[in-house]
Structure 1
Amino acid sequence: MKDSRASIKGFQGLLLALPAFFVCMGFHASSAQSKPNVIILLADDLGWADLGYQGSKDIRSPHIDKLAKNGIRFTDGHVSASVCSPSRAGLMTGRYQQRFGHEANSPPPSDGMDLKQITLADRLKKLGYRTGLIGKWHLGNRDEFYPARRGFDYFYGLRSGSRSYFYHAKKDDKPGNPKAIEENGKQVEFDGYLTDVFGQKAIDFIEAKDDEPFFLFHSFTAPHGPMHATEEDKMLFASIENPKRRTYAAMIWAMDRAIGQLVDSLKASGEFENTLIWFLSDNGGATGNASINLPLAGHKGIKFEGGTRVPFFAHWPKRFKKPKNFDSMTISLDIMATSLAAAGAKEESLKNLDGVNLLPFIEGKKDGHPHQHLFWHKLWFSAMRDGPWKLIYVQDYGYALYNLGKDLAESKNL
């Protein structure tokens, strides 16, 4: 009898505890759902002047333009390197990649990003995010650098830096080729044009969403070479006489189409308003893809503005109520700190980053500028910004000083 009474009391205690338990569970779910999804849309070798919102007259990008029009446009926005892999290393860590020796596309000694570095995917995963990478990795071909070991729950794409936009079983898609398309460690075949395939995989990732927020790194190969586009897309730009630029325009059109479909998926799932979308290029336009960086000087691979200043904006309807140009210096490293702050990370966890949380600056809660100085370095080529002033050093050639406030084209060495 005594045991029976004890059991009844225990059961009554459990009943009394249940409401509090469900309240806590409800609070947890609400808290998780209030965190924004985070998407990084990274173009590859996109020219400064090659989007509609950047003033292009021959290339059309309506979906990107609409996001930019309704977002925060970083007019003095930069990447931390003027070539693919180092730029991605900075983006994924929020730190100047020179700090861990990642200055080139194949950094010594291991040809991959230092395994001691913590990625944005690592950090967001700890905050309860589901993480995915679609597209180009280019932070190490070997298994120890595989995206699944760098914080990503899902990966569909290529380990290396470029490949054909169509399936080639005897070339890029040969077994073991780092250019081959893989899905979570297994090499797979694909049909159609690769940018379209990546776009559909991004939608699949979004639509697989559960109650937890997600982080999607949508790393396009477009418009990086090889210069491949579908005939249907090229026909849309028949008025462009240069055949290479016609193909380039079609590649951007396909990327823009994929982004439009991604936005439609977000809206259909009710996730659009509370999704923080970043768009930028990994570096400036390259010399070989018919891109245009004007009025900026230079191109991919060098430290003039055409190599590091890129189309760059953020879009988050729930938080960014008033679209605007943000004219202070910003850098891709800021994406890490800002995304973590948006996800509710503790402020002290941002202190070891070179990037800055842009939210208080965007929203007018903090005066001044996110950065007074920015730095670039690769082997024999260095540059730094101090406000409008830019100093460039090239080994064997010496120094050059420009006032970008008066000379954005870097045409007058002071």
Structure 2
Amino acid sequence: MKRRSFLKTLGITGASAMLPLTLGGCTSAAQRVNQLLGDKKNPPNIILMVTDDQGFGQFDFLPESYNKTVLAERYVSERYAVDLDAAIHASRSAMPTLKKLAVDGVRFSNAHVTHPVCAASRTGIMTSRYPHQFGIYNNDDVKPGVPLEETFLPEVFQNNGYRTGAIGKWHLAKVRKEAVKGSTSRDYHDNSIIWAEEGYRPTDRGFDYFFGFHASGVSSYNSPTWMRNGELAESKGYMTDQMTDEALAFIRSVKKDQPFFLYYAHAAPHIPLTAMAPEKYLGRFNTGNQEVDNYYASIAAIDDSILLLMNELEASGRADNTIFLFMPDNGGVADSPMPQNGLLTGNKGSLMDGGVHIPLVAWGKSLPKGMIYDGLVSTMDLMPTLLAASGLNQPTSLDLDGVNLLPHLSGKNPSDPHDMLFWAGPRAFHWGEPNDDFWSDYFEYVSGRSESDIEPSSPHLEKYSTASWSVRKGKWSLHWWQNDNQVRLYDRTVDPAETNDIASKHPALVNEMMMGIKRWIKDKPEPAVWGQQYFRELKNSLLQP
């Protein structure tokens, strides 16, 4: 497939197809209202793509993420140390297809996941509910599986005539682990097979077809744990290429008169990334550090997957009737290259913006073109929004926390989709700068470079981490950490790094936001696995007189 064939669908041809893109303008409110009507007679195809631990600054989403004065002062691990300009260039050039979709579609500049770690975040996407509603406050809480009484997004589409497919990472199931006989690898991606228990498999929760892996990761090559509809599948080549082949095959298998919902959850750029990507991706980068080149090569492979999917949609006449969405599942990790999370502070595992604020892109039918939307948005909003865009009613039996974004995008409803959004869970530094020594030792261990047979242990795992809560209201963020029992308020428009605490200057606003989370936390159950004592102290910090 040629890159330019899809670019023509965006009206980008000739020399302009190769030029850097600037921010697009917004369509008028009247135009947008006409565009945002659901089409029950000709419902759109939907592709929801999720990447794994990709930082806010590791995709050219908004130019302000690349403030070199700020980034030059940020931490970067020894493994990924490189000239800052080279790292920024790698980030800005890695995903040209996605950049063009973002500029032509909607960029949600104030979008958030429900939790800063993989499984808990994906729970919010799939259920359109705060995962805290059913005892999920971190990854460990998903080990018993997302409760079976919760309805998943694909179930609703499946019940309305859609063909549904899931490719890639699941991480929402109760699982069992089987050792690979004869394996000498130290990497759990290579030495174990992960089976999902009955009832928790993707095909039990609304998907007609599944190819992928049930737990947190997969080997770049020769994975022993690929699954196809609950059965072991052969590993063929590079992980992203194999998943993309499966995604294309799924689309081609769907009759053209039937709409489809495809959930494509990439494994990249989740570390440790011990194996090199194919040269067709690796050769695009020359930062001076092969580890940085390899990291961005894994992201370039994702961009090529988008291009191949879009070319297939165009060739089959479905591009004009498809909605495409892109998002990372949470913030990036500290053991990754600049620009990491851009100007945002915190990493995966943190309730600060670096952990939960994500670049969300939406493109296609029923959506505005060239729009940057700054209203307060959650990934819980995907289900009601996609149902509305498809002309489908939300089942009355579902008590969702997400809202339909279409009236807000059209201008029909000028208010923010959410007055406030809430978070609660461990303040985990497992993926942050304080755990640098662990990640350095772990990479040496799993790559076989360390002579020691003892696997390094992390002192900052979620299960050892004390409590935190957080609130977002428009441009404001409010944080509480158990270790010092203080609240901190930040204006994220002028202080995106959340470094200048102005709580003392806005006592009424602090009180309003605290009252909001008090009401929210009051009926939340205890965590399924995470420390009960930490959770009780979290609740007491809010509910005790």
Global fold match (TM > 0.5):
yes
Aligned residues: 371
Aligned to 1:164: 219
Aligned to 1:237: 285
- The 8 Å contact of residues 376 and 418 in structure 2, kept in 1 or not, is answered as yes
> Matches of residues 146-295 of structure 1 in structure 2 within 5 Å?
146-168=201-223, 173=224, 180-210=225-255, 211-227=257-273, 228=275, 229-238=277-286, 240-290=287-337, 292-295=340-343
Structure exhibiting the larger radius of gyration computed from Cα positions: 1
Q: 1:206 to 1:129 in 2, by over 3 A?
A: same
1:407 paired with 2:453, answer no
Distance in structure 1 (CA, Å) of the matches to 2:131 and 2:58: 27
**Structure 1 position 242, deviation (Å):** 3.1
Shift of 1:365: 1.8
Q: Percent identity?
A: 36
Q: TM-score, normalised by structure 2?
A: 0.66
Task: Give yes or no for the alignment of 1:57 onto 2:89.
Answer: yes
Matched residue type, 2:55? G
Note the C-alpha offset of 1:321. 4.5
Q: Give the equivalent residue in structure 2 for 1:309.
A: 357
Match among 128, 151, 156 for residue 94 of structure 1: 128
Partner of 2:43: 35
1:202, 1:33 → 2: CA distance?
Answer: 25
**1:365-408 alpha-carbon deviations (Å, 9 max, x no partner):** 22211111011111412111122221111112222211112211
Q: Normalising by structure 1, report the TM-score.
A: 0.86
1:382 aligns with 469
| Structure 2 partner of 1:70 | 104
* Matches of 1:235 and 1:277, distance apart in 2: 28
Q: CA deviation at 1:409?
A: 1.0
Deviates more, 1:186-195 or 1:398-407: 398-407
For residues 320-373 of structure 1, the C-alpha deviation after alignment (integer angstroms, 9 at most, x for no partner) is: 243210011111111111011122222563962111100111112222111110
1:356 aligns with 2:403: yes
Q: Supply the AA of the counterpart residue of 1:37.
A: N
Does the 8 Å contact 2:387/2:394 carry over to 1? no
On the 8 A contact 1:374/1:386 being kept in 2, the answer is yes
Q: 2 CA distance for matches of 1:87 and 1:356? A: 17
Which segment is superposed worse, 391-400 or 227-236? Answer: 227-236
Query: Which 10-residue stretch deviates more, 140-149 or 61-70?
Result: 140-149
8 Å contact from structure 1 (residues 163, 226) kept in 2 = no
SS, match of residue 165 in structure 2: strand
Measured on the aligned residues, the alpha-carbon RMSD in Å equals 1.7
CA distance in 2, matches of 1:104, 1:146: 20
Q: Which runs of 5+ in 2 are unaligned?
A: 1-38, 64-87, 176-195, 427-466, 503-545
Q: 1:230 Cα deviation (Å)?
A: 2.1
Q: Separation in 2 of the partners of 1:204 and 1:365? A: 39
SS in 2 for 1:333: helix
Is contact 2:49-2:266 (8 Å) kept? yes
Mapped to 1, the partners of 2:104 and 2:164 lie a distance apart of 26
> Who is 1:47 aligned against?
55
- Structure 1 runs not aligned, ≥5 long: 1-30, 174-179
